Structure 1
Amino acid sequence: GNRITVPLVSEVQIAQLRFPVPKGVLRIHFIEAQDLQGKDTYLKGLVKGKSDPYGIIRVGNQIFQSRVIKENLSPKWNEVYEALVYEHPGQELEIELFDEDPDKDDFLGSLMIDLIEVEKERLLDEWFTLDEVPKGKLHLRLEWLTLMPNVSNLDKVLTDIKADKDQANDGLSSALLILYLDSARNLPSGKKISSNPNPVVQMSVGHKAQESKIRYKTNEPVWEENFTFFIHNPKRQDLEVEVRDEQHQCSLGNLKVPLSQLLTSEDMTVSQRFQLSNSGPNSTIKMKIALRVLHLEKR
């Protein structure tokens, strides 16, 4: 008879789905604008006023909003955002400027930049003419950062972003932490004896925290979820993980991984069952974690 062959999904493809590594990181220096339209009018329109401009910046599903600068047609924001870029053809950086108003914010122009172009150039620092409006331009500095699986550039990167002892959590990123949360085993039971907990995992690095989905009535939860954290300085920051029982709001165990440990691991990756502290005697959590140094290559 006729055989229908089903192509098997390769181990490699599964590994990539389970551990998606971004193609790059886009660092957006949202610097200043000039010659924007004055949208606020006074005295029944006789006096042309200023605008209170701000920007909305989008890359994929990541959205950033700048602060508002009052009464200024040449605002200087000097803000920086960092966005993950995955393998998407035609992915764009999309920017819209608005004038903040009590009722409805007025549109001051937009800009679309093809990320393929930024990736090719590595660094773009220029004034862009705003679209869909008669006047106005926007000054951006865009850096395409590649993800390096080794520490050779880390010290230079730390110097470049002025990584500082005092603000281990603030400022630009030198690295990306990619985390695959697989599962946990032998979690202690919830408050009621013999009842299974509803485990949820809270992960944090410095001020940045993320949370897994809740799994119900199990001490063997399987999550299979991916997370990423921007890291300012992996030499002095820790990944903190806590498993909590969502039902009784109590801790089922925790774990601290100094990121410096990853700097010395092969491929800057660790994949293992970690023993949980303050938990049952054989309570473990299975994770794969990797660091990638964010490097601005010269063209």
Structure 2
Amino acid sequence: MLVLIFGQSIIAANQMRTVLPGQGMQWLEITILSLFVLLFAWVSAGFWTALMGFFQLLRSHDRYAIDSEVGDEPIVAEARTALLVPICNEDVARVFAGVRATLESLRSTGNDRHFDIFILSDTSDPDIAIQETYAWLVMCRDLGAFGQVFYRRRQRRVKRKSGNLDDFCRRWGARYRYMVVLDADSVMSGQCLTRLVQMMEVHTRVGIIQTAPRASGRLNLYARMQQFATRVYGPLFTAGLHFWQLGESHYWGHNAIIRLAPFMQHCILAPLPVRAQCRGDFIP
């Protein structure tokens, strides 16, 4: 892919050079060409990704597809999954509307007994914390979800989000085979969550499966444009990324299913030194 991007960018830069008065020999023109190459390379990467995605979708075959060997097998009782929703001073109504929608979708599949939901709060504002507690109580009462949806607010809010997840893993991680970390505004369908667990059960050496998030419910014009773009072009670029990454994937930090045992064993890293550019505590 790099060869294609660089080759295409060099050809485009050469064409750009011919239209400049000094044929790219002046300092200002060299600066213009340098910026042009950087920006064109970004466009070229998108072009080759979309092109390969188009061919993948056209062929309807992907030898690296992880779901090709997965049927509709029932989930065994031991394959329990925790859905984690780390929050900190968030819009309470939005958070719990998303949790409610996810739980209701799970129940429609008949597989909700294999899932528990943990709302992990690091909220510092006491007024928002009271709203969170009340919203959790109302939701559990309305849906009969006591014992399935749990709310926990940390008193010692250390290490921010990574510390929140670390605390969950230490306290309750051994009870679950998988976990899915959601953003505060994430909503996942029960069908998608069930499929993720089924894929993990079939591919026992896979540690993480990343979904491809899509925007929804946006309000302003720019956000609506982004939402439209993800709906139309999202599958194309996702297929293209899958082609170039040979079945591997980026981890985007949320909406992915993770095998908990190896995660707890290997992925709790020491804090980065203060002098590091990305210093602090984190979980990869």
TM-score bracket relative to the smaller structure: under 0.3
Task: Pick the structure with more strand per residue.
Answer: 1
Task: Pick the structure with more helix per residue.
Answer: 2
TM-score (structure 1 length as normaliser): 0.22
Question: Which structure ranks higher in relative contact order (CA pairs < 8 Å, sequence separation ≥ 6)?
Answer: 2
TM-score (structure 2 length as normaliser): 0.23
